[in-house]
Amino acid sequence: MPVLRTQVAIVGAGPAGLMLGHLLHLRGIDSVILENRSREYVIERVRAGVLEQGTVDLMTSSGVGDRLQREGMRHDGIYIAFDGARHHIDMAALTGGRAITVYGQNEVVKDLIAARIESGRPLHFEVEQVRPQGFDGTSPLVGFVENGERREIACDFIAGCDGFHGVCRESVPADRLNVYEREYPFGWLGILAHARPSSAELVYSNHRRGFALFSMRSPQVTRLYLQCAPDESLDAWPDERIWTELRLRLEMADGWRPNEGEIFQKGITGMRSFVVEPMRFGRLFLAGDAAHIVPPTGAKGLNLAMADVSRLAAALTRYYESGSEIGLDSYSEASLRRTWRAQRFSWWMTTMLHRPPDESAFDHKRQLAELDYLVNSRAAMTSLAENYVGTAFED
Ligand code: FAD
Ligand code: PHB
C-alpha cells in the first residue's frame, strides 16, 4: 500500500483544517490535508459571515487577508430590536476600538485554498473512508481511499478538523469522551437575496412571532435568518412566505425594514450547544466544530475554530523548534476555557432573542426585562460588546 509521510495529518478542509495547514506551512512544518467533499462543495457551502477581530488579525498577519481587507465590511456596532424599535450597541466605543468584519466563510475558505495551492503542499479532495489510528502511541497513521485505492499517511500528529459529523472524534473510545450537549427547540431558516443592505449594521430582533436577523454579504447581497421549527421543511417556505414573515418580524415602528430582492440561496439549520472534553487524545488533537458547536446567535463557531488552530499551530511549532511539549499539554485546557466562554455567550444571546414554543408568560416578561436592561445599561452593553467582538486569541 502506498504510504505517504508527513509531520501533521489534517482531517478536514474547512476553515480550521485549512488555516492550520497554512500556519504550519509558514513555520516550515509539513502537513497533508484530507477532505471527503469536492473542492466546489467546500467553497460553495454557505455558512458564517461574522469575523471577530482576532480572526481578521490572524488572516492578515498570516498573509491571507488582502481580499478580506478590500472586500470585508467592518462593523463597529450592532442593533438589538424588540417592541418595534432598534437599539444601537456601539461595540467599538465600548471595547476600546475593537470591531467585527462581515466576510463570508466561503470567501475565507476560498482564500485559504488559494494559499494552500500556492504553497505546493498536499490537499486531497474527495477522499473516502478516512481512519485515524494509533494516536495513543508515537507513530499515528491515517488510512484513506483515493480513486478506489487504499492509502496511508504516517505522521507525528493527527489534527481532527473534520467538523461535527467527522470521524476523528468518533475514533476515540466513547468512555474517554465527556460530552456536554443541549438541543434547542428551533432552527434557523437562512436566505441570501440580491438586495442592497438597508442598514449598515446587523439587526438581531426578538419578535413575538420568533427571532429574525438581518445581515449582509456585500453591498449588493442581504443575508436574512428567521427562527423556525428545527425539523421544518424548506418546501413549506416558498419565497413569498419568507418575505411576509421577515417583514412582520423585522419592520420597525420607524418604518425601517430590509430591502427585498431575488432569493438565490435557502437553507435550514438546527441549533445545538455541544462540547467534548478533552480536546486531545495522545497524538490526536480536535479543533473547531469537531470538538464544539455553538448556536449561531453569538456568531462564534468559525471564530472559535480559528482560535483553536492558532493555539495548536503555536504548540506544534514550539514542539518542532525546541522539543517542548508545554503548548501541546496545555492545548486542551486553554481551548476549552475559551470554548466555554463562547458557549455561555451563545446560549445567553440565543435564549434572550428566541421565543421557545413552550414559553410561559413569566419567561416572556423576564426576557423583555433583560432586553430593557441590556439596552439601557452601559455595563450590560459592554459585556455584550466584549464577548461579541471576542478577546485576543492568545488569552
Ligand atoms: P467545518 O466547516 O464543518 O469543516 C469540516 C470539514 O471536514 C468539512 O469540509 C467536511 O466536509 C470535512 N469532513 C467531515 N468529515 C470528514 C471525513 N470523514 N473525512 C475528511 N473530511 C471530512 N460561525 C461564526 O463564527 N460566525 C457566524 O456568523 C456563523 N454563522 C453560522 C451560520 C450558520 C447558518 C451555520 C450553519 C454556522 C454558522 N457558524 C458561524 C458556524 C461556523 O460555520 C462553523 O463553526 C465553522 O464552519 C467551523 O469550522 P470547522 O473547520 O471546524 O468545521
Ligand atoms: C451571518 O451573516 O451569516 C450571521 C451573522 C450573525 C450571526 C450569525 C450569522 O449571529
Ligand 1 centre to CA of 201 (Å) is: 24
- Rounded CA-CA distance 131/145 in Å is 10
Ligand nearest to the CA of 13: 1
Q: Which residues are bridge partners to 145 per DSSP?
A: 128, 150
162 lines ligand 1 (CB under 6 A): yes
The secondary structure of residue 288, as a DSSP letter, is: G
Return the closest-CA partner of residue 266 out of 249, 246, 282: 246
Ligand 2 centre to CA of 321 (Å) is: 39
Ligand nearest to the CA of 190: 1
Instruction: Spell out the alpha helix ranges (H) of 263-360.
Output: 301-322, 326-353
Ligand 2 centre to CA of 271 (Å) is: 13
- Rounded CA-CA distance 142/138 in Å is 13
167 lines ligand 1 (CB under 6 A): yes
Atom nearest to 305 CA in ligand 1: 52
At 53, list the grid cell. 477581530
pLDDT at 6: 98
169 lines ligand 2 (CB under 6 A): no
Phi, psi of 192 (to 5 degrees): -115, 135
Which residues are known catalytic residues?
75, 204, 296, 300, 388
Write b or e for each residue in 44-79: b if 16 or more Cβ atoms lie within 10 A of its Cβ, otherwise e: eebbbbbbbbbbbbbbeebebbeebeeebbebbbbb
Pocket test for ligand 2, best of 204, 211, 225 (most atoms within 8 A of CB): 225
At 20, list the grid cell. 492550520
269 lines ligand 1 (CB under 6 A): yes
3-class SS at 34? Answer: strand
295 lines ligand 2 (CB under 6 A): no
- Rounded CA-CA distance 250/353 in Å is 13
pTM of the predicted structure, to 2 decimals: 0.97
> Cβ distance 12 to 160 under 8 Å?
yes
Atom nearest to 308 CA in ligand 1: 52
> Cβ distance 356 to 363 under 8 Å?
yes
50 lines ligand 2 (CB under 6 A): yes
Q: In 3-state terms, the chain is what percent helix, strand and coil (to 5)?
A: 40, 30, 30
- Rounded CA-CA distance 129/71 in Å is 38
Nearest residue (CA) to ligand 1, atom 38: 48
212 lines ligand 2 (CB under 6 A): no
Contacts (Cβ under 8 Å, ≥6 apart) of 241: none
Q: Give the pLDDT of the chain (395 residues) as one tens digit per residue.
A: 778 999 999 999 999 999 999 999 999 999 999 999 999 999 999 888 999 999 999 999 999 999 999 999 999 999 999 999 999 999 999 999 999 999 999 999 999 999 999 999 999 999 999 999 999 999 999 999 999 999 999 999 999 999 999 999 999 999 999 999 999 999 999 999 999 999 999 999 999 999 999 999 999 999 999 999 999 999 999 999 999 999 999 999 999 999 999 999 999 999 999 999 999 999 999 999 999 999 999 999 999 999 999 999 999 999 999 999 999 999 999 999 999 999 999 999 999 999 999 999 999 999 999 999 999 999 999 999 999 999 989 75
pLDDT at 395: 52
Pocket test for ligand 1, best of 33, 35, 124, 142 (most atoms within 8 A of CB): 35
Ligand 1 centre to CA of 115 (Å) is: 19
Residue type, 297: T
- Rounded CA-CA distance 319/248 in Å is 56
3-class SS at 48? Answer: coil
Q: State the CB neighbour count (10 A cutoff) for residue 205.
A: 24
Ligand 2 centre to CA of 225 (Å) is: 8
Ligand 1 centre to CA of 299 (Å) is: 12
> Cβ distance 304 to 334 under 8 Å?
no
299 lines ligand 2 (CB under 6 A): yes
Ligand 2 centre to CA of 125 (Å) is: 27
335 lines ligand 2 (CB under 6 A): no
CA of residue 234 relative to chain centroid, distance = 23
> Cβ distance 76 to 138 under 8 Å?
no
305 lines ligand 1 (CB under 6 A): yes
